[in-house]
Amino acid sequence: MPVKNRFAELHDEITAWRRDIHEHPELLYETDRTSALVADKLTEFGCDEVVTGIGRTGVIGVIKGNSDSSGRVIGLRADMDALPILEDTGVPYASKTPGVMHACGHDGHTAMLLGAAKYLSETRNFNGTVVVIFQPAEEGGAGGKAMCDDGLMDRWGIQEVYGMHNWPGQDAGTFSIRPGAFFAATDVFEIDFQGKGGHAAKPHETVDTTVMAAQAILALQTIASRNADPVDQVVVSVTSFETSSKAFNVIPQGVSLRGTVRTLAPETRDLAQTRIIEICNGIAATFGGTVEIDYVRNYPVMVNSEQETDFAVEVARSVSGECADAPLVMGGEDFAFMLEERPGAYILVGNGDTSPVHHPKYNFNDEIIPAGCSWYAEIAEKRMPAA
């Protein structure tokens, strides 16, 4: 793998950073230790500016090239937060925080961008400015939006922005990407049916909310099968069914459903929300009950801009020799908020034959560190070649 020689030399050091972060995972915006470690490293590397507290616990490092006649400013982003999962890897550097682990590889993303920052601070072989972005709360907390809301793009004049995620099941150190819509919009809903509870032996005296909820679960699947255009991707999943009574002989007064909607186009997103409301209102009216629906739009569709994707492919091929076409992903990614503000691209780097992300046995593959670091660094050097 033709990675930069410097990253082969730094491999053990970057791996040690990664494993230290893995051992001390932190959730959402509570990345105090990780953020402090990142800020200390960036200062140690000699970054021209290090700023903390962007998006609550985000960290920014600014690295100026040997010249700045291009006036170009590029952002490179990594996420820092972990997941509320009990680790089951058995590695010697396993999480010391019960019920919290780096099950998505953000420890690896952070370490790789730190490695790239160290190299770029040493060499400065580019004409422009690099802004390294370390983001909290990717896992459901919209940390990317919080950083943008704090003026990330305007304050540092970022013109384009790039991110990366490891990908289990893809050959280690290889890359894949796609232009346009890549990761899905991720919305959530809560549906509360109310009826008339009573004795299970006298259903005729009740308004049965379990029947309403059961009908709703089945009917919501017709959004994908009968409302959306078959060529448009949409997933409607009810993931929780909770009644107000746990007794065997009671028809409950209320039932709450929770779930998620995943879409890849704004029109399909609107359709799904509208139909969920219409279907549930209709079912409640049909059975004589009432319903309250709380629908929340979370992460938008993550859209790679075409020109920047082509450039990301060029860089990936220079590092690993190839870059495959990635599939559409119905998972969410809050790098979408940054790509709404600036053109850029998000790429996948193979993690090899490992457990999937969000799994208790998942572990980031340290062997891919030189490839990831090289891609980040080459983005800067190839986009802003030295004058």
Residue 102 assigned to a binding site:
no
Per-residue CA distances from 184 to 96, 310, 333, 357, 372 (Å)? 33, 21, 8, 17, 24
Tokens of 103: 């099950």
Measured N-to-C along each axis, helices 266-287 and 209-220 cross at an angle, to the nearest 10 degrees, of 150
Query: In terms of Cα–Cα distance, which of 188, 202, 246, 237 is closest to 216?
Result: 237
Could you please report the per-residue DSSP string of 314-368? HHHHHHHS-EEEPPPB-S--THHHHHHHS-EEEEEEEEES-PPTTSTT----GGG
Residue 333 assigned to a binding site:
no
Residue 358 assigned to a binding site:
yes
Amino acid identity for residue 225 in this structure:
S
Rounded to whole angstroms, the Cα distance separating 286 from 266 reads 30
Residue 165 assigned to a binding site:
yes
Residue 11 assigned to a binding site:
no
Rounded to whole angstroms, the Cα distance separating 81 from 193 reads 35
Per-residue CA distances from 102 to 19, 92, 209 (Å)? 10, 14, 39
Give Cβ neighbours of residue 311 (< 8 Å, ≥ 6 apart). 345, 379, 382, 383
Rounded to whole angstroms, the Cα distance separating 185 from 264 reads 6
> Which residues make up each annotated binding site for Mn(2+)?
104, 106, 139, 165, 358
> Which residues make up each annotated binding site?
104, 106, 139, 165, 358
